[in-house]
Amino acid sequence: PQTDIVFLKVHKSASSTVMNILFRFGETHNLTFAFPVGGGNQLYYPHHFLARFVQGFSPRNPRQFNILCHHMRFLQPEVQKVVPRSAVYFSILRNPVQLMESSFVYYKGASAFSRVRSLEEFLSQPDHYYDPTSGDRHYAKNLMTFDFGFNPDGDVSPERVQLMIRAIEASFDFLLISEYFEESMVLLKEMLCWDLDSVVFFPLNARDKSSKSPLSDSVVEKIKAWNKLDWEIYTHFNRTFWERIDRDIGRERMRWEVKALQARQAELARTCLQGTGSVAPKDIKDSSLRPLQHGGARILGYNLKQGLDEEMERTCRRLVTPELQYSSTLYKKQFPPKP
């Protein structure tokens, strides 16, 4: 099994669920994490990543960590200072249309969105609301391009797009696709030589359907045009994702693997969860399992069954612990507070 991992946690792309998988694997295998200084939840995002943002790293005594997975803006030469050379690099992408709709709801307070009532209103004249000099501009345009370290306002010529895609391919071993999350987890398991239980998941940081709105065809086209760089990245890596599955796994085996994953998750849901799945924030009984609520989104969570034995309770709790609480627990374990 691979134990040295860099995961570029792209915003609003089911990346919190992937992070939970990495937290669980790291915890059960006693691995170290490259935590933000002071135990925060982002590596000084939206600045480009620097090794000195990592707790416990210093140039005089360059310490290396097994897993780097907190939000950052990618800069590989700096990343290479804090992880072993053998590290596997991967990330996850999401269709830019859904990503922008999600970003609009979640980051409603961002300067580009704060003066409009709807995404349609923003897209009717985006240049009027979007300021390329504002510090939070990336939430409103080419968010994936930005997270990968590139300029979201950059030239959209085919030559530039090709350079960007080649740079991503040179840095990353593979990219997952959030629309095909179960297939992505099977691919992740294969690429990292992990077992099935390491990649089972309950969706985390997901919002309830009440804050989701269908998009008209004209809005969809406007989003693609406004996020042209993201759209080019996504369509390219969506294609290579399936090419890799055909080459390394095959569609028939993939269907079988997805069924096995679904069956294991259904079994764990029956064992671990009260009711059939996620619940609204107000219905989460254990406050330590309540996810952070942000923007206009209502983020769902889970209730665990009572009376589980100690080992099963621990397994179930890990599966449903929100990102901030889990990160904080692991940080205190790796850097125990001084008495």
Q: 33 to each of 3, 37, 78, 327, how far by Cα in Å?
A: 11, 12, 16, 10
What are the tens digits of pLDDT across the range 225-249?
Answer: 999 999 999 999 999 999 999 999 9
Compute the average pLDDT of residues 280-302: 88
What are the tens digits of pLDDT across the range 180-228?
Answer: 999 999 999 999 999 999 999 999 988 877 667 789 999 999 999 999 9
The percentage of the chain sitting over the pLDDT mark of 90, rounded to a whole number, equals: 91
Q: Give the number of residues written for the chain.
A: 339
Other beta carbons within 10 Å of 209: 9
What are the tens digits of pLDDT across the range 6-43?
Answer: 999 999 999 999 999 999 999 999 999 999 999 999 99
Domain spanning 5-334, CATH architecture: 3-Layer(aba) Sandwich (3.40)
What pLDDT is recorded for position 237? 98
What pLDDT is recorded for position 273? 96
What pLDDT is recorded for position 213? 79
Residue 276 has pLDDT above 80, yes or no: no
- What residue segments make up the domains of the chain, in order of their start? 5-334
Distance CA 36, CA 262 (A): 34
Q: Please provide the average confidence, as pLDDT, over all residues in the chain.
A: 95
Instruction: Name residues whose C-beta falls within 8 Å of residue 253's C-beta, 6 or more positions apart in sequence.
Output: none
* Predicted confidence band of residue 54 (pLDDT cuts 50, 70, 90): very high
Compute the average pLDDT of residues 62-82: 97
What pLDDT is recorded for position 339? 82
Beta strands in the chain (DSSP E): 5-8, 67-68, 88-93, 174-177
What pLDDT is recorded for position 125? 96
